[in-house]
Structures are given as structure tokens and as C-alpha cells.
Structure 1
Amino acid sequence: MRGIQLSLSKHQNLRLDRALEQLESLSSKENSDASVTVADDISVNNEDAILKGHGTTEMDGRVVATMCGVVERVNKLVYVRALRARYKPEIGDIIVGRVIEVAPKRWRLEINFSQDAVLMLSSMNLPDGIQRRRTAVDELNMRSVFEENDVLCAEVRGFQHDGCLHLQARSQKYGKLKSGQLLSVPPYLVKKRKQHFHHLDQYGVDLILGCNGFIWVGEHVEVRDDMVDDLSNKSEEQIKSWNTINDEESEETYTPLETRQHICRTANAIRVLSTLGFMITVENTIEVINLSITLNVGIHEMLGAEFYVVVAEKEAERRSLVTKRDDYQDLVA
């Protein structure tokens, strides 16, 4: 657990320490075989042709860990995965970024990485939905799509020959994000999963868990796929110009008060999980939201010391019950 800086009373401090100690003891039992520290031996069962990966070295015929983390094995490759590490982009990662520069034929984005990422004009769908070559007019109208400080969602395409990290946004689910909050959490708290786009139907909120540690909580937007339309039958007069589309998008849209409250409550739930060092998943987020509603905790009160302590105690209780149930099932089996 990371050092938590909260204004706690003596009683709250004791309760929080007790809950965190219980969580650490449960975690150490689960990862006792996989967790290693510097200079720990890694068991390879005398296998031949072992490939020593990142975080390992050979010493006197033994495979030794050179960093703290969890031992991972892929076929004959053995490496140590750090529990807390900076974000390292991989092809296919869903990321949330902020535009910091509009350059010729590209947008430059901040994505919580050691270098900025690049989204090329040719790597995204145009507002009219037509698949065509990008022209000089398209380049002149780039600022009508994204401008500085806009928040958008994209997919990592990979490092190109120019050494830059390139993104792509060729699907309707990617693009500009509006009417919400952008949160920044340590990237190691967001696990890579098959699904990073979540719609919390009961709250009317969209949740995007970026692999880079940027999380978006915003009003739900219906995603429509323009590719299903028969664009080949559209004439030049039927295709809207960029200016018309931009004018329509610039109209102020009203977000209901109830939806704004749900956005704030969801964002505060993620802040609580991040401060406590818990993994940020849609399940954990919904659990914290429901807990705050059940206890009749106000949105602003969720960031108070008492709610942090209650969340830690509930998580310790839940993990303890899961461990006891697993032990009972193993005993019966």
C-alpha cells in the first residue's frame, strides 16, 4: 500500500491501519509463490533452455531476480513484472489523451508517457464519415475537429519509423470526449482487459478506463456506425460540409443535474480507489458508488476521511470472506 496522506483522527487512523494490515496479509498469502524481491531465487524446476527476461539474471547457475515484482512465465520465458511501473504503450491499448498542439497533418497529445503521442489526420475518421483521401481543405479544417485542450480517446498504433508513438481513431467509439471529467491515476492501477469502454446504465454515465492512467467519466453518448450507411448512393449535395457539422456540434447541449451528480459521484469513487491503492475496475467503482448511496454519503463527503476508512474496511471484509470460502471449498474437495 502506498503512503496515504489523509487528515485522520486517532480512532480513524487505527481502523485504517488495521484494515490495510489485513489486506496486506491476505495479499501476501495469495502471492507468496509469485512475489519476489531483489536477490530472491526464481524457481525454474531445472528446465532446459530457459529464457531469462526482464528483471532476471543468472548467478552461480541460479536464476535471480534483480527487481521487486511478480514472476511471470510465457512458455520458456521467465521475467519479473514490476507492481508499480510507468506506462509502457503496447499496440492495441485504449488510451485517453489531451491535445497539446495542432501541427501540420497531425495532432500532438499528452498521454501520461515519457513522450507525446501523435494522431495523424489520415489515421482518423472525418466528421462527414466518408472514406476518402485527405485534402488541403481537410488540413485547414483540422482545428474544427480537435483543438488544444480537447480530450479524446484513441488506440495505440505503435512506434513508427520516425520514432514517434502513433495513435489511430478509425472507429466511431473513438474521438472527442465532452461533458465529463478527466481523472489521472497511477497506470498500474488499471489492468488491461478486453473491454475498456463501460456504460453504467443505472447512472447514465460512460466510463473509459485508459491503459495510460487517464480515466474519463462523462455523460452517456450513443455510438452510431456511419459505415453501415450506403454512402455510395449519396450525391455531392447530400454530403454535409465540415462547417455545417462544426456548427451543429458547437451548439450547447444541456446535461441534466442528476447526470452531473452521477458523474461527480463516479469520479469521486475512482479518486477513493486510487488514493487507497486499490485496482480500478468497473466492478470496484460500482461497489464504491453503491456503498456511498447505501450509507447516504453526500458526493462531497466521499472525499472525507471517514469514507476512506469505511471503503478500506469493507474491502478487507470482502477479501477475507472470499479467502475463507476458497479455503472451505479446497477442504471439501
Structure 2
Amino acid sequence: MEVADIISISKPSKFEDVDSDIEMSDGEEPRDNGIVTPGELVTDDPVWMKGHGTYFLKDNTYSSVAGNVSRVNRLLSVIPLRGKYQPETGDHVVGRITEVGNKRWKVDIGAKQDAVLMLGSVNLPGGVLRRKSESDELQMRNFLKEGDLLNAEVQTVFNNGSASLHTRSLKYGKLRNGIFLTVPSSLVIKSKNHSHDLPGDVSVILGVNGFVWLNKTNKSTSNSVVNNKLQSTIDSKGNYDPGKGSVSITRLEEESSWEIYSDKNDKISATVRDNITRYYNVIKALSHGELGITEQRINLGYQASLQFGNIGKLIEIESMENICQDIITNERMRGSM
């Protein structure tokens, strides 16, 4: 018995690329989102190049994972349905510090390897653009230490699959006043914005890597503080007086940076705690129903969960299925599904 007879466990499927000049055998319609299983024949045409999730054997390309077939020009790859998160440049992720090293932190982002956050890629007290000194290196654990959670952006992806992060924007930094949960990264739908303010004084960060953070909404944002201070430098005639403001922009950056790295949580009312718990269970229900997680679905799930007075009942399988069904029904009525 040949090796190919053992590996091919299902009916072969053949592809053709309608966007290129390449013609595939048999002229069958391509399946852009076709799902294949490990060992299944993806194509027997040798013109295709094998990508991630595939392997080549006797001029045939087979799938090595269960997932969706992806075609980019002549490159065939299979995106796994479930598996480790694969970072891409620009992804908004949530991570946990695992190690403090020489001018760098190692961050667990749910990928095959820990990501790296360089000391030069974070905002430090004293201004965004100032040089990082030896004193900063000695105080690295005062900023971020093992076990701390943070949200960041993927800056670079290296050839070995590891990623470099940055938190240069004030919307990134250490996370406080909330709760952490994980969902399959394939369920988090990429969008322009992954930070949302939800009803009930709750905010959510949907990390592309499947790490989710729910916290109390911080109403005193840095932008509003800066705007208020700039407004205070304008007199009644509308003239700008740079010496009139009580706090300079550099000082604001310094105060904002220290606030980002604070370990002290704010006081959270019982109502907000209940709302955070309710949203936590709603997101768990979306994960259980394998529904793509978006701001709209979280809001719909929250409204559907209000029929359950006891928040603890939301973790029951029947309750989670009811919430998912209500979301699907609502989206069908809106025509968004």
C-alpha cells in the first residue's frame, strides 16, 4: 500500500483560480471557503505553491490541518479552525507579562512563542519621545512585572513567527479595574476598533488573539484632560496664552504614563460589578455557540440576558443556547445575517 493511499482519507477536491490565467484540471468551481480535513487532497495541479497548513507529496498538495482553504495568487494555504494565534502586524492584542529581561519584557499573547515588548516601545514618565536611560531599565518592574496584563499593538512579526509589540499610544498600557477571559481567537472578528464602551459603565477590549478584557469605563480620558487644559490657555477674547495653562503637555504625558502603570484599582460599585459579570457570561455564551464576537452581538446578548435575573444562571448550557438563539433571531430580523 502506498503512502498516498493512507493519507488521502476523503474525496479529493480540485481548484481553479478565476482571478488568474491559471486553469485547473476538470474546470470545477473553486471553493474559497472550502473546509478540508487533515490528509485531504487540496489540489493535484503542480502549479500551486504550498503554504501554511499544507504539505506536498508526489505532485499533490494535501492539507495538514482542519480548516478553511485560502488562496493568494498561486499560494495555497489552510487556515486552521482552531489553534494557536498567529500574530499579524497591526493586531490589537491583550497579553500577560511572563518575564522581565534586559531592556525587554516577554508577553504571553496566546501564540506559539511569547512576544517581545522592548523598553523603547513603551511610554515612560517624562514624555513619549525622551531617551530611555539606565534608571528606566532598573525600574522596569515598577512599570510592568510578571503577571501584569496589558493591551498593545503588534509592531513587527519576525521570520520565526514571534512578534514585537508596542504601547506608544496612550490607549495602550497596563490593564486595571476589570476581569480577564479567553475565547478562541478565530471567533474575534477583526475590525477597525477593538475597544468599545458598552451600556452599564463597562468597557471591553476584544484582543485579536482571543484574550478579552472587561473593565469599568474610565470617564476621565487623557484626551478630555488635554482638551480642558488647552482650553484654559485661551482667554475671553479667544487669544492663546501659552503661559496661562496650569499643566503643560509634557506634564500631562508624565501623569498619564504614571497612571497607566498604577497597580491600584479604583473603587467599583456593586452595580458595575454585576454588569461586568453579566457581560463576561454573555461573551462566554457567544464562545459556546461559536458565534463571531463583535460589539453588536455583545450588546444583543446583554439585552437577551436581562430576562435572567440571576446572573449565575447565565453559565448554564440551556441559558447560553437561548442567548445565542436570541442573537441569531434578532440579526435575521435586522437582515444582518
Aligned counterpart, 1:171: 169
Query: In structure 2, what is the Cα distance between the partners aligned to 1:130 and 1:317?
Result: 48
SS of the equivalent of 2:222 reads coil
Per-residue CA distance 1:90-141 (angstroms, 9 max, x = gap) = 2221111112222232222222222222211111111333411111121222
Per-residue CA distance 1:2-24 (angstroms, 9 max, x = gap) = xxxxxxxxxxxxxxxxxxxxxxx
Query: In structure 1, what is the Cα distance between the partners aligned to 2:33 and 2:91?
Result: 29
Query: In structure 2, what is the Cα distance between the partners aligned to 1:123 and 1:92?
Result: 14
In structure 2, give the amino acid aligned to 1:150. Answer: D
Query: In structure 1, what is the Cα distance between the partners aligned to 2:117 and 2:152?
Result: 8
Matched, 1:220 2:249: no
Q: Verify the 8 A CA contact 2:94 2:151 in the aligned structure 1.
A: yes
Q: Verify the 8 A CA contact 1:86 1:188 in the aligned structure 2.
A: no
In structure 1, give the amino acid aligned to 2:323. Answer: V
1:281 aligned residue (276, 279, 294): 294
In structure 1, give the amino acid aligned to 2:83. Answer: A
Aligned counterpart, 2:207: 210
Q: Verify the 8 A CA contact 2:182 2:211 in the aligned structure 1.
A: yes
Structure 1 residue 156: deviation in Å? 1.5
Structure 1 residue 297: deviation in Å? 3.3
In structure 2, give the amino acid aligned to 1:208. Answer: I
Measured at CA, do residues 143 and 322 of structure 1 come closer, stay the same or move farther in structure 2, by a change above 3 Å? same
Q: Verify the 8 A CA contact 1:151 1:177 in the aligned structure 2.
A: yes
In the TM superposition, 1:73-222 aligns within 5 A as: 73-159=71-157, 165-200=163-198, 202-222=199-219
More displaced stretch, 256-265 vs 76-85 = 76-85
Query: In structure 2, what is the Cα distance between the partners aligned to 1:138 and 1:162?
Result: 29
Q: Verify the 8 A CA contact 2:177 2:268 in the aligned structure 1.
A: yes
RMSD of Structure 2 on Structure 1 (CA): 4.0
Query: In structure 2, what is the Cα distance between the partners aligned to 1:109 and 1:76?
Result: 35
Query: In structure 2, what is the Cα distance between the partners aligned to 1:133 and 1:315?
Result: 50
TM-score (structure 2 length as normaliser): 0.70
Query: In structure 2, what is the Cα distance between the partners aligned to 1:247 and 1:196?
Result: 19
Q: Verify the 8 A CA contact 1:96 1:111 in the aligned structure 2.
A: yes
Q: Verify the 8 A CA contact 2:195 2:205 in the aligned structure 1.
A: yes
Query: In structure 2, what is the Cα distance between the partners aligned to 1:158 and 1:247?
Result: 23
Query: In structure 2, what is the Cα distance between the partners aligned to 1:284 and 1:260?
Result: 21
Matched, 1:270 2:270: no
Structure 1 residue 82: deviation in Å? 1.9
**Quick one: percent identity of the two aligned structures?**
33
Query: In structure 2, what is the Cα distance between the partners aligned to 1:177 and 1:85?
Result: 26
Aligned residues: 288
TM-score (structure 1 length as normaliser): 0.71
Q: Verify the 8 A CA contact 1:292 1:298 in the aligned structure 2.
A: no
Matched, 1:305 2:317: yes
Stretches of structure 1 that go unaligned for 5 or more consecutive residues are 1-30, 327-333
Query: In structure 2, what is the Cα distance between the partners aligned to 1:249 and 1:268?
Result: 28
Query: In structure 1, what is the Cα distance between the partners aligned to 2:56 and 2:114?
Result: 36
Measured at CA, do residues 301 and 170 of structure 1 come closer, stay the same or move farther in structure 2, by a change above 3 Å? same
Query: In structure 1, what is the Cα distance between the partners aligned to 2:322 and 2:99?
Result: 43
1:258 aligned residue (271, 277, 281): 271
Query: In structure 1, what is the Cα distance between the partners aligned to 2:287 and 2:330?
Result: 18
Measured at CA, do residues 252 and 50 of structure 1 come closer, stay the same or move farther in structure 2, by a change above 3 Å? closer
